[in-house]
Amino acid sequence: MRFKRLALLALFLLPAFSMFVTAAEVRVAATDHKGSPIDELVIWLEPLDAPAPPPTPDELQATVEQIDEEFDPYTIAVRKGTKVEFPNRDAVQHHVYSLSKPAQFEIPLHGGDETESVVLDQPGLVPIGCNIHDWMLSYIVVVDTPWFGTSQADGVVSVADLPSGRYQLSAWHPRMRQADERTITLSEGELNEVTIELRLRPDRRIRRAPSSGGASY
C-alpha cells in the first residue's frame, strides 16, 4: 500500500519532473508483408534494465463494451490486475465468457445497462466471446508493464514517457499465432521510431450474417 501511494505521488510529480528529466517516446509503425498498415495491433514494452514501476489505481480500469452485438474494442491491452468492465449497451442480452488459461469466467445472460466486471490478474491472452453470438469476439492482452497501446487504422501506436534504456517490444494481433518480440533501446529526449513488418495469417473470424445463419457455400 505504501508502494502504491508512492507511485501515486510519482504520478503527480511527473509533470514537474518532466521539466528536468527528459523521458523517451516510442512510435511504432506496423505493416503487414504487403505493406498495408496493421490496425488494432497490440504492443507493449517491458523494461529490461529495471523493473517496471508499480501500477497506479487509475491504470487498473478498462472497459470492453457490448454494443451493436460486437465487442468494442476488438483488441485491448490491460495491465495485470486491471478490473475490466463489460457494459451491455444493446437491447439484447449477451453471455460473455472466456475459457482462457489466464482467466476463466462467465457472465451469464445479462440485459442492457447491466455492467459486470472481472479482474484479470494473470498475464496472458484472454479471448472473450458471447455464447449466443458466435461472431462476437474480443482479445484482452494482460501485460505486466504500464507501457502499451493499440494501433489505429494508420498502423501507428505511440507510447510516451518511458525512461531511456533497453526494452522488449512485443506486438500481437489476432491474426498472429505468437507475439512478435524484439529488443529496442530508447534514448531520452527524442522520438524513437520503430518500424515493424509482420506476417499476418488469414482472418478467420466468423462472418456475421445478419439474415442467414448458414455458412457461405
Question: Which range, of 6-14, 60-68, 74-82, 134-142, touches another protein by CB under 8 A?
Answer: 134-142
Q: Is 109 a binder of another protein (CB under 8 A)?
A: no
Q: Which is nearer to another protein, 146 or 174 (CB)?
A: 174
Which triple of cell numbers denotes residue 129? 466471446
Rounded to whole angstroms, the Cα distance separating 38 from 173 reads 9
Near another protein in 140-179, by CB under 8 A: 174
Please give the helix or strand (H or E) that residue 6 lies within, else none: helix 2-20
State yes or no: residue 137 binds another protein (CB under 8 A): yes
Closer CB to another protein, residue 48 or residue 209?
209
Among residues 202, 210, 211, 212, which is the contact residue for another protein, using CB under 8 A? 202
Q: Note whether 199 binds another protein by CB under 8 A.
A: no
Nearest distance, CB of residue 189 and another protein, angstroms: 41
Q: Shortest gap between Cβ of 181 and another protein (angstroms)? A: 20
- Cell triple for 160: 510516451
Tell me how far apart the alpha carbons of residues 58 and 80 are, in angstroms, rounded to a whole number: 13
CA–chain centroid gap for 122, Å, is 14
DSSP structural state of residue 58 = G
* Site for another protein contains 214 (CB under 8 A): yes
Rounded-to-integer distance, Cα 18 and Cα 68, Å: 42
Is 33 a residue that touches another protein (CB under 8 A)? no
What residues contact 116, with CB distance under 8 A and at least 6 apart? 85, 86, 96, 107, 110
Which of the ranges 57-65, 128-136, 140-148, 160-168 carries the binding residues for another protein, by CB under 8 A?
128-136
**Closest C-alpha to 17, from 58, 60, 53:** 53
**Beta strands, E only, 5-113:** 24-32, 42-47, 61-63, 65-67, 70-72, 75-79, 82-87, 94-99, 104-110
CB of 178 to another protein, least distance (A): 12
Q: H or E stretch including 25?
A: strand 24-32
Per-residue contact string for residues 48-67; x = within reach of another protein by CB under 8 A: --------------------
Q: Which residues bind another protein (CB under 8 A)?
A: 97, 99, 101, 104, 127-131, 134, 136-137, 139, 174, 201-204, 206, 214-215, 217
